[in-house]
Structure 1
Amino acid sequence: MRELLLGLSLGLGAGVAPGALLGLVITASLRGGFRAGLGLACVPLLSDLPVVLLSVTAVGALPGALLRALSVLGGLYVVYLAVSSAREARTALPPEPGVTAPSSARELLRGVAVNMLNPHPWLFWIAVGAPIFATAWDRSPASALAFTGGFYLVLVGSKAALAALIGVGRHRLGARGYRVLLVGSALLLAATGLLLLVRGVTG
């Protein structure tokens, strides 16, 4: 029970924290509605498996240089996505009521790439997640699975809830409000990308 509560609380903090993936969820929800945003919200379920496996089996074995390189590459890619979103926002029009764009495999792949290049999941699992998982596993495998399941349930669920709110309300926006929100999500991406770059360069 303690491990489950710990996973839920850590998942909530990670789910609502500003970051590249959250920015992509917001952008996708504005453009394509809940379905598109939900696809991006579920990205950690697709991209985190190698992160978790490597972190749990080799805690501390990953060199710092690799994490810094991931930070630089991820920062550059996120800044590129931010610039692209900002350019598109200049002429973007809000979707018509009842119109929902299909979820894009390209957007999903973007989300997976961003998450894999983001050092934050790696750092979380190396510094926090893996030690908790190992301790819980020593107690019982069910405790370790409860921690992991609780963490991803809330991590994905909080982003999915945000996607639902935006997906429902996006039709009420005028052209100006729609563009302002798109620019806002682009700024969130840009700030995250620059932060990743600075951390990667300065170590």
Structure 2
Amino acid sequence: MLDFLTAGLVLGFSAGFSPGPLLMLVISETLTHGTRSGVRVALSPIITDFPIILATVLLLMNLSGYHGVLGVVSLAGGLFVFYTGFESLRAQPVALELPKEPPKSLRKGILTNFLSPHPYLFWITVGAPILTRSLNIGITAFIAFIGSFYLSLVGAKIILAVAVGKSRAFMGSRLYLWIMRLLGALLTFFALLLFREGLRLLGVL
């Protein structure tokens, strides 16, 4: 269970702190309408990801006997995580000079996240395979991963909304860059584990 808890925390914090459409919306809402608006947007993945998770988990459960297919999915997940980690290691300060926009809401955050390719790529190649393995172990492992993932994902974005609300300089600070680089190193290690799992499923190891 500890492995699933750790994986959820690392992947969740990485997704939460990494620049992307939803993070930019969190920042924009915080700067233009206050911290509460940014926090509302940060909560949107809890709503939008459910149908994606359900569809991908059901698909992989039907493919549970096809080790070759699952091996390819695991390798693709390793590439996705490795790329994400590489980008985190190369993180640069984030510019916060965003244009003023009309008020947004939780609905706008839901739409932004639902139309972004990142949740789909993550759950198809990384998240759903981990959830499928956790279900084979037991409900405790399942809850450990899904709970820690969303706690850290949403928590990271709320932390950023509060930090940006207090100081625009945070996203360009050394602390933010070091957080990204630490997460990048952890993701690179996690990608190697996914590569190993993929090669095992393909019968190479």
Do both share a fold (TM > 0.5)?
A: yes
Other-structure match for 1:117: 115
Large movers: runs of 4+ above 4 Å: none
Residues 125/60 of structure 1: CA separation in 2 closer, same or farther (3 Å cut)? farther
1:32 aligns with 2:37: no
Other-structure match for 2:53: 52
Other-structure match for 1:126: 124
Q: Deviations over 1:108-136 (max 9, x none)?
A: 21111111111210111111111111111
Q: Give the C-alpha shift of residue 60 in structure 1.
A: 9.9
Q: Kindly report which structure 2 residues correspond to 1:7-156, keeping only aligned pairs within 5 A, or say none.
A: 7-59=8-60, 86=99, 88=100, 106-156=104-154
Other-structure match for 2:74: none
**Contact 2:26–2:161 (Cα < 8 Å) also in 1:** yes
Other-structure match for 1:196: none
CA distance in 1, matches of 2:136, 2:10: 21
Other-structure match for 2:70: none
What secondary structure does 1:148 align onto? helix
Code of the aligned partner of 1:27? S
What secondary structure does 2:124 align onto? helix
CA distance in 2, matches of 1:31, 1:114: 17
Q: Give the C-alpha shift of residue 55 in structure 1.
A: 1.1
CA distance in 1, matches of 2:61, 2:19: 26
CA distance in 2, matches of 1:33, 1:157: 17
Other-structure match for 1:99: none
Q: Deviations over 1:69-97 (max 9, x none)?
A: xxxxxxxxxxxxxxxx63x37xx9xxxxx
Structure 1 residues not aligned, in runs of 5+: 62-84, 93-103, 174-203
**Contact 1:60–1:126 (Cα < 8 Å) also in 2:** no
Other-structure match for 2:65: none
Other-structure match for 1:74: none
**Contact 1:33–1:168 (Cα < 8 Å) also in 2:** no
Q: Deviations over 1:47-72 (max 9, x none)?
A: 111111111112499xxxxxxxxxxx
Structure 2 residues not aligned, in runs of 5+: 63-97, 170-205
Identity within the alignment, % = 41
What secondary structure does 1:58 align onto? helix
- TM-score, length of structure 1 as denominator length: 0.61
Code of the aligned partner of 2:58? T
Residues 153/123 of structure 1: CA separation in 2 closer, same or farther (3 Å cut)? same
